[in-house]
Structure 1
Amino acid sequence: MIGFLVFGLVVGALARLIKPGKQNLSILATLALGVVGSLIGGFVAKFFGTGGYFELNILGAIVAIIAAVLLIGVAEGLSSGRRSVR
């Protein structure tokens, strides 16, 4: 489980590096988005029969990073929407 959290943090950090612009996300938000991205990557890998949810493989890692980049974009959109209302 600790390895999964560490991988989620790495995925979140890589996603933040890939996503252009400045993201106003805390380290906990980065960890959470990375873990969710890792779960999505594990689900896709399990669906295609190349691994499991908690198993590290290349397809799951790539999908996890892509999912985390998309999740960061969604989180930015939600947080910027809250700021513009004020």
Structure 2
Amino acid sequence: MWAIISALIEGLILGVIARLLIPGKQNIPLWLTVLLGLVGAIVGNLVAHLFGVADTRGFDWWRHAFQLGAAVVLIVVITPLWAARNKTGP
């Protein structure tokens, strides 16, 4: 249960920071921000493992940078798709 709660908190933090780094307004709901932050965390961890920097002594700066970068890319890609989806409604 704690793993789920901590994953949601991590997704929220990554998603919000990613949205703050992107210029302009991202018109997506909070739940989508959290979801994209979670996916960004997973993708960032995979990339960090590929580069061999997933587990370092001290604070894992590289792993967190990859996670944040993945979250930023996901939000940049998904935001226009979300807006287009909402405009084609009835």
TM over 0.5: yes
Q: How many angstroms does 1:85 deviate by? A: 4.4
Unaligned runs of 5+ in 2: none
TM-score, length-scaled by structure 2? 0.78
Give the Cα–Cα distance (whole angstroms) in 2 for the partners of residues 84 and 31 of structure 1. 22
Q: Residue 5 of structure 1 aligns with which residue?
A: 8
Shift of 1:63: 1.1
| Cα drift, residue 83 of structure 1 | 4.7
Q: CA-to-partner distance for each residue in 1:36-82, whole Å, 9 max, x for gaps? A: 00001100111122226xxx721121111111111111111212333
Aligned Cα RMSD in Å? 1.8
Q: Deviation of residue 12 (structure 1)?
A: 0.3
Indicate the residue corresponding to 2:34 in structure 1.
Answer: 31
Match of 2:19 in 1: 16
| CA positional deviation for 1:34 | 0.2
Percent identical: 37
Give TM-score scaled by structure 1 length: 0.81
* Stretches of structure 1 lacking an aligned partner (at least 5 in a row): none
Q: 2:38 is aligned with what amino acid? A: V
Computing the radius of gyration over CA atoms, which structure comes out larger, 1 or 2? 2
How many residues are aligned here? Answer: 83
